[in-house]
Homo-oligomer: A and B are copies of this chain.
Amino acid sequence: MGRPMAHNLASAGFQVLGWNRTPAKAPPGVAEKRSIEEVARDCQVVATMLADDAAVESAAHVLYEHLPRGATHLGMSTISIALARRLAFEHAARGQRYVAAPVFGRPEAAEKKLLWIVTGGETDGLATIFDALGKVSLSLAEPWQASLVKLTGNFVILSLIESLGEALALVEKGGIDPREVMRFIGSTFLDAPAVRGYGGRIADTELEPAGFALVLGLKDVNLMLKAADELRSPLPLAGIARDHFLAALARGRENWDWGGLASAIRESAGLSPVRRG
């Protein structure tokens, strides 16, 4: 996600410095730096788009030290609400600002500047950045609340994957082509982007290459369950999906799309994980 987003910012006229764990991936117009420290020193806004809490927290420790006073750390990753709270506190203690801005949308949407952005915290002066990436669709008072909505949105998508996985296995056991049922559902009462995208993939059992990998899905479902713990709000659907993630990962499917949890549902119904022919 980071690469098309950096490219869109550069195209919009921003001076963009980039850093990536794998070097030489900066898109045209983005000056690649050798460390987060080098990026932090000269920037008014530093956006992080990283895989998990550990990666974000490790970057944040550099930012605490090197980001100028008054500068903004824009957190665009999907992270725990506990870490979002901590980032807001630690940056504020140093006269810096933490704003959460997780995004919804597949990599293709990022390329087309069509991301749906959820902000958390005070966003003064950031509108032109958001405009270059997509559309602010929901604004919340606190950074951790934006992280919560991101996790909640992913929970709803995950529940949809689980539900369509169970539904399509059932009709296939009934001798019906799941692709036809999926076309029906996705063109009638559930005519929505996420349904057509994930549902089509599950019905076709086309689960590689990943848009969002199974192993990242497990990370996210654990963050959802952690948020549920902290807020004392049960998420039994997340528990079921988590077990299907584990069953799929137990069979070595780390790099399948997270829609691939449907493969474990298929197996529990006595079907082969991927349909043949």
Tell me whether A44 is interfacial, beta carbon within 8 Å: no
Task: Given A190-B195, A191-B192, answer yes or no on A170-B228 (Cβ-Cβ < 8 Å).
Answer: yes
Tell me whether A77 is interfacial, beta carbon within 8 Å: no
A237 B163 Cβ-Cβ under 8 A: yes
Q: Chain B contacts of A13 at CB under 8 A?
A: none
Copies of this chain, complex-wide, total 2
> Contact partner of A185 among B156, B167, B231, B265, CB < 8 A?
B156
> Contact partner of A166 among B144, B153, B195, B234, CB < 8 A?
B234
CB distance from A76 to the nearest CB of B (A): 16
Tell me whether A175 is interfacial, beta carbon within 8 Å: yes
Q: Chain B contacts of A167 at CB under 8 A?
A: 152, 155-156, 159
A152 B173 Cβ-Cβ under 8 A: no
Tell me the residues in window 115-140 of chain A with beta carbons closer than 8 Å to chain B beta carbons.
116, 118, 137-138, 140
A164→B156 CA distance, assembly (Å): 7
Q: Chain B contacts of A138 at CB under 8 A?
A: 180-181, 184
Tell me whether A82 is interfacial, beta carbon within 8 Å: no
CB distance from A121 to the nearest CB of B (A): 14
A270 B232 Cβ-Cβ under 8 A: yes
Question: 6 closest A-B pairs (Cβ-Cβ)?
Answer: A159-B163, A192-B192, A173-B231, A233-B269, A189-B194, A138-B184
Q: List 27 A-B contacts (CB under 8 A).
A: A104-B188, A137-B184, A138-B184, A140-B176, A148-B171, A148-B176, A149-B171, A149-B181, A149-B184, A152-B170, A152-B171, A153-B189, A155-B163, A155-B166, A156-B185, A159-B167, A160-B190, A163-B163, A166-B234, A166-B236, A169-B233, A170-B227, A170-B231, A190-B192, A190-B194, A234-B268, A237-B237
Additional pairs, 5, CB under 8 Å, beyond known A81-B174, A157-B189, A192-B195: A118-B184, A138-B181, A148-B176, A170-B227, A170-B231
